[in-house]
Chains A and B, each alone.
Chain A
């Protein structure tokens, strides 16, 4: 019996030390999936970058349905992962509930503010980046009508659309911005068929540049735009390569940097709200060889000028989420 106790004790100590030694960071991807070529893929790239640089390993989990959120979070925290990074606003409520149960574990959430002492909240000024690509859209548009296709109809996505509309109107006050949302459930992040049909519908309304802020649904939007011979704008990751010559630019949201930073800070993760905007390179627009022929130096100069003004505070882009209204568009 004593022997047994000793064994058990030894095993427990071993398990504990093993748990401490293997305090790997973990990342949970939201429903769009790790390879959505957009938001989650950016997070994945950040994690990979960290793994390559440090030679470390990390745990990862892909959400399959809504019901898994809390379970996934608890499982990773119980397994000793630290810090646990999650992408997506939808984790907000769950994290608020789970974080107090694991006071020694650090959590980081992207796209949502969770006010807990062990949670780092990373939010982005998407309206600033969207403003810039909106300017590009208005300058590239010949018809004077541009489109926006959002994923799930939530304030965050309206923030994208609102910033975009403001950028468009800044260049061409008479421009018409057609706004559509794919749906009202998380399935709207992953419905490329509907995305493509919405894009075709917007083209029929005269739009010749369409900005997709819709996760995996955007794949369909970009495809339809390429098929129909109009321009599209990608989101989150650099999506210019997907249809070279058809994707005008991509609104970069450096989720990869956010995840990379969180992983790098490791167990010393600093709790609090972290706002990533133009000023600290949290958002921006993508230029590479795939869209070099679409964006002229003149257009780029104009956008860079606006970017400088936003950084200095000379131009204030309205944030939809600050008061749930938009001066440039109605949803």
Chain B
């Protein structure tokens, strides 16, 4: 494998890791606050449909992104009401919302555009254009670093950079702000937070809302940047891979970045069986590469690679003592 191929692989990795990263961080906020969210997939799908539809109808990708976030927030709100207010089972609520999203996206898109649940292809301003970072062209000829900067780091749509900036931001919010401390506390020991006179319900709703916004960005990225439009079930299980990445990263933001990049790299490798064969000198089934993220997650869960301990109050609705 030569350097150019490696750069191309890394470029694909970044493109494919971005939706995972948004969804993974989304899950991180929710789960750190004690609300398991298996409905990341559904929220992404909903956001993808809403953003593609609105971007097509208004011709503005920014309106599309807002609509995507809005649609995702609606689902997040329902999940919140079901699992926080009414103390329902968080897993069941999440699964149900996934089904709802899977059906309603096709229904709405079909009603709007009558193209079999697909939105028409987006063009021009209805889609994110790649951003060329400053000096990319000038530095291109600098050995090693130049092509890396030009091929891999520069030339992505805005949302990719936003996704990567969200990582340090999340770290700062979680570990350096009062809100973050409370958020982590409410996922570990909500009774203690309650005793301190802070609203458990309020904090959890705030976390679920952040999850909604980030899933909205993940879906909008898929429909308006990675692809030019929405297609049925276009998220193709990325919400679940993001959950796997979250466990792999043991619910920590910076580790989540590396986990998403690793899983994105596996997906990129699965697209280039010729490279894998060239390096290993034997043929690896593509299905094996596709399954790797799940295999790794199982290994982590089984305790082979450190121990993944979820937030202690995760999955438990909070009941105030009386």
Taking Cβ atoms with an 8 Å cutoff, the residues of A that contact B are: 33-36, 178, 180-181, 183-184, 187, 190-194, 196-198, 200-201, 204-205, 216, 219-220, 223, 227, 242
Contact = CB atoms under 8 A, between A and B. Distances in A.
Contacts of A223: 121, 227-228
B272 A201 contact: yes
Contacts of B274: 178, 205
A70 B227 CA distance: 34
A191 B271 contact: no
Interface string B138-161: 000000000000000000000000
B227 A36 contact: no
B287 interface: yes
Contact of B116 (A33, A184, A193, A198): A33
Interface in B186-228: 222, 226-228
A216 B286 CA distance: 20
B12 A194 contact: no
A219 B121 CA distance: 9
A183 B290 CA distance: 10
A59 B303 CA distance: 55
Contacts of A193: 222, 226-227, 234, 236
Contacts of A198: 271
A324 to B, nearest CB: 17
Q: Which of B222, B271, B290 has the largest count of A CB atoms less than 10 A from its CB? A: B271
16 contacts: A33-B117, A34-B116, A35-B115, A35-B118, A180-B273, A191-B234, A191-B236, A192-B227, A193-B226, A194-B271, A204-B5, A216-B231, A216-B232, A219-B118, A219-B121, A242-B121
B267 to A, nearest CB: 8
A193 B229 CA distance: 10
A100 to B, nearest CB: 33
B177 interface: no
A196 B12 contact: no
Contacts of A216: 118, 231-232
B233 interface: yes
B252 interface: no
A192 B234 CA distance: 7
A190 B233 CA distance: 8
A284 B251 CA distance: 55
B180 to A, nearest CB: 33
Interface residues of B, number: 28
Contacts of B226: 193, 196
Nearest to A181: B286
Contacts of A183: 286, 290
In the A-B complex, the 7 residue pairs with the closest CB atoms: A35-B116, A204-B8, A33-B116, A201-B271, A35-B115, A192-B231, A197-B271
A187 B287 CA distance: 13
A227 to B, nearest CB: 8
A214 to B, nearest CB: 13
Interface of B: 4-5, 8, 12, 15-16, 115-118, 121, 222, 226-228, 231-234, 236, 268, 271-274, 286-287, 290
A181 B290 CA distance: 13
Contacts of B222: 193
A184 B231 contact: no
Given A193-B226, A197-B16, A201-B8, 11 more contacts: A33-B117, A35-B115, A180-B271, A180-B273, A184-B287, A194-B236, A201-B271, A201-B272, A204-B4, A219-B231, A220-B231
A36 B232 CA distance: 10
Nearest to A184: B287
Nearest to B287: A184
A193 B118 CA distance: 13
Contact of B15 (A178, A192, A197, A220): A197
Contact of B232 (A33, A178, A184, A197): A33
A325 B286 CA distance: 20
Contacts of A184: 286-287
B236 A187 contact: yes
B104 to A, nearest CB: 14
Contacts of A35: 115-118
A220 to B, nearest CB: 6
A242 B115 CA distance: 13
A71 B231 CA distance: 26
A204 B273 CA distance: 13
A193 B4 CA distance: 23
B292 to A, nearest CB: 15
Contacts of A178: 274
Contacts of A33: 116-117, 232
Nearest to B102: A64
A184 to B, nearest CB: 6
Contacts of B116: 33-36
A242 B121 CA distance: 9
A219 B115 CA distance: 13
Nearest to A40: B116
Contacts of A220: 227, 231
